[in-house]
Amino acid sequence: MRSQRWSGLDHLLALTDDVGVLQHATLDVPNRACGYCTDDVGRALIVACDAAAEPVTEGEAAKLVTTYLAFLHDAQLADGWFHGFMGYDRRWQDDRGSPDAVGRAIWGLGYAERHACRSSWRVVASRLRRAALPAVPKLGHLRSGAYAALGLAHAASAQPNDLQAVREALDAAARSIAAAYDAHAAGDWRWCEDVMTYDNGRLPEALLRAAQVLANEGYAERGLAMLEFLTAATIENGMFAPVGNAGWYPRGGTKARFAQQPLEAAALVDAALAAYALTRNGRWRGIAEIAHAWFLGHNVLGAELAREGGCCDGLDAHGMNANMGAESTIAYLMSTNALASLAGLAPSLRLVR
């Protein structure tokens, strides 16, 4: 049954109160002292929109959607930018959030604009996304632009009133990644930077999603080249071993083995499925399944990170980080749902054969 995918929503519900989703947890107990962040709420909105469409969880998930939209509404500044961090006392802790926070907010809003099951949610998401559109050219970082591009690709597919502006912003964000790839890729290094760092799969995914929306073969070719390189760097004997954030992966250097983060597995799942949607090459579906298996114990430590509806915070050299924070849990739920939704993939544009 399709609804069975949401049997594990409990931990996200535990992390969410009437304000937003708490950033961190001590084991599986929410840590209120750390407050909330826009990065997590933007991504949690994606999970909540999907869960609200499922009969088993629609009531609980509806509360999540309205809570997350309300948080983003309050977080948005007059110029379309967003705050990044709120304390448990409901006070914003910054004047302006990071570019990543803004990009992830746009990502969630664009997704809700297309997929939220209530028209009122879609209207609110669209209003916030439209207000944020002037911020996109100011993000200034490849990943921030990639997150925004993912949201804009969804918004474009929702056929908004400002469709031309959305397509232009999407094209500009994708063009920045493509230009960075052209500037850095050489020899056996097929990447858009000289160091592979965090959330790596979102960069090729953004190109592939933009390629499908804009029918741009150049974006598809670069996105697939980057994804091939990422896959070669992180799939070892049929097991996903992502770039660790304890040193990253510099050009000409050695890939860091730890600390491995759940967002890397979720990003590769989505990137591989974007490649599958574009090419219908079943190999990419297999790559997505390998990346998702990382959560379930098919990793360098043989540790099962997914448990009781949540996900542990990563793999370190000394073992598994057993805390179950928001980012980790959201990454696991996004990955689970992406694989469960394979049957609903849109027809391929067959740009690449």
Residue 349 lies in a domain: no
pTM above 0.85, yes or no: yes
Question: What CATH number is associated with residue 111?
Answer: 1.50.10.10
> In which domain, by residue range, is 195 found?
2-344
Residue 353 lies in a domain: no
The percent of the chain in helix, strand and coil, each rounded to the nearest 5, is 60, 10, 30
Backbone angles phi, psi at 76, to 5 degrees: -75, 135
Residue 352 lies in a domain: no
Could you tell me if 34 and 24 are in contact, meaning their C-beta atoms sit under 8 angstroms apart?
Answer: yes
What pLDDT tens digit does each residue of the chain (353 aa) get? 233 444 478 999 999 999 999 999 999 999 999 999 999 999 999 999 999 998 878 889 999 999 999 999 999 999 999 999 999 999 999 999 999 999 999 999 999 999 999 999 999 999 999 999 999 999 999 999 999 999 999 999 999 999 999 999 999 999 999 999 999 999 999 999 999 999 999 999 999 999 999 999 999 999 999 999 999 999 999 999 999 999 999 999 999 999 999 999 999 999 999 999 999 999 999 999 999 999 999 999 999 999 988 999 999 999 999 999 999 999 999 999 999 887 554 433 333 22
Residue 267 lies in a domain: yes
Residue 91 lies in a domain: yes
Could you tell me if 110 and 128 are in contact, meaning their C-beta atoms sit under 8 angstroms apart?
Answer: no
Number of structural domains in the chain = 1
